[in-house]
Amino acid sequence: MNAIDIGKYLSELRKYYKITQDELANRMGVTRQAVSKWETGTAVPDIELLVQLSELYGISINDIVKADLTRIKFQKELVFPGKEKQEKNVFVIGCGRWGTFIAWYLDKIGHRVSLYGRAESATMQRLMETGKNEYLSLPDSLELTTSMEGLEKADYIVISVGAQKLREVAMQLAAQQVKDKIVVLCMKGIEIETGRRLSQVASDELNHSNHIAVWLGPGHVQEFYRGVPNCMVIDSNEELVKDELIRSFSSELIRFYYGTDLIGNEIGAAAKNVIGIAAGMLEGFDLSSLKGALMARGTSEIARLIVAMGGNAGTVYGLCHLGDYEATLFSEHSHNLSFGKSFVQGKEYGELAEGYYTVQAIRKLGKAYGVELPICEAVYQIVHEGKEPQSMLRRLFDRSLKNEFV
């Protein structure tokens, strides 16, 4: 263990995340002089401080002791929620459950937020009349609007609409000559007609000067509104865009992680809604004990599709897919779970279950890339072709014997 090398490592790590010695000292509960001594190699943090640094930076103590500078570029998890944020103008498009929550959240953490909805939307009319929906109440500081005129002053444009409506919204933004904006997509799905990921759909229509990012991961409005924290992901093809958004959007309520695989994150996030419908079907038949098998096989088949499309198999085990299973396969707030359960019980379900549409696109992608997707295929045949649910699900779990990891 070389104190000078460790000092250089800690110095570069701190600079990488653009934090000062004072900020680090405050977070660690030490003096700035102590931090300075670490970085010059005149002192080494004791074991308790090394543990704190390890947790703070999301790296192992072993990495700190090895002081391997080449690994720094892979450490993309750090956020200082307490660090002062620069106030931004945010224009949120979509006044549904999630879009309204995002507007509420971004206003809560100190941004200037406008929430847009169509004038003819009953949901928007209710918000403008009462300032609330069935999930939350909006503060007076948040602007409600049915006009897109505010786009010009926006630093960030956040979109939360049904996945199949994204191209239409992107075309509207293009007609408004939106340029040089960071556009954040806060929905999960794949365009049915083209099989394109949502970041691709936005890029197809928007001016090339705009920067596209996605905001994905687990969480329900009801839980966030009552103060229950969760972890989510922001991903983009542009590292600086991820850096800026994570610093601007993070708080004690939502801890954001840096996505490192845009393909895997988008496909994984979309596909988990399909697995959620399958879980609801199992619940409807009182077969919830099979959810464990569903989770194991679901991650396996979606990983195969991600790899075939050029992504990383490991992404499926992150927040975009497996990390979202609790909220989608078990929570009473999950629309996809409720839809699947209602469907097999012959009941109507009036809310949007994005997996109903996504399964059509996933099935097309599976065929296009030559990937076998038995769970997605079963869900598709049940909800879109009218196949008998019990026999389809029984067949799914009675498939021929083979190695578990094949």
Q: Which residue among the candidates 88, 242, 272, 341 is catalytic per the annotation?
A: 272
- The answer to whether 154 and 90 are in contact (CB under 8 A) is yes
CA 83 distance to own-chain centroid? 22
* Residue 364 falls in the annotated catalytic set: no
Residue located via tokens 């991903």: 235
CA distance 246 to 234: 7
Strands 211-216, 230-236: parallel, antiparallel or unpaired by DSSP?
antiparallel
DSSP symbol at 161: S
Between CA 347 and CA 203, with CA 365 as vertex, the angle to 5 degrees is: 100
Nearest residue to 100 (alpha-carbon basis) of 130, 70, 64: 130
CA distance 376 to 362: 7
Amino acid at the residue 373: L
3-state secondary structure of 106: helix
Nearest residue to 136 (alpha-carbon basis) of 222, 219, 220: 222
> Which tokens hold the place of 93?
């498009």
CA distance 47 to 294: 42
Question: Within a 13 Å sphere around the CA of 26, how many CA atoms are in the beta-carbon half?
Answer: 9
E strand or H helix that includes residue 405: none
DSSP letters spanning 289-347: GGHHHHHHHHHHHHHHHHHHTT--GGGGGSTTTGGGHIIIII-TT-HHHHHHHHHHTT-
Residues annotated catalytic, as ranges = 272
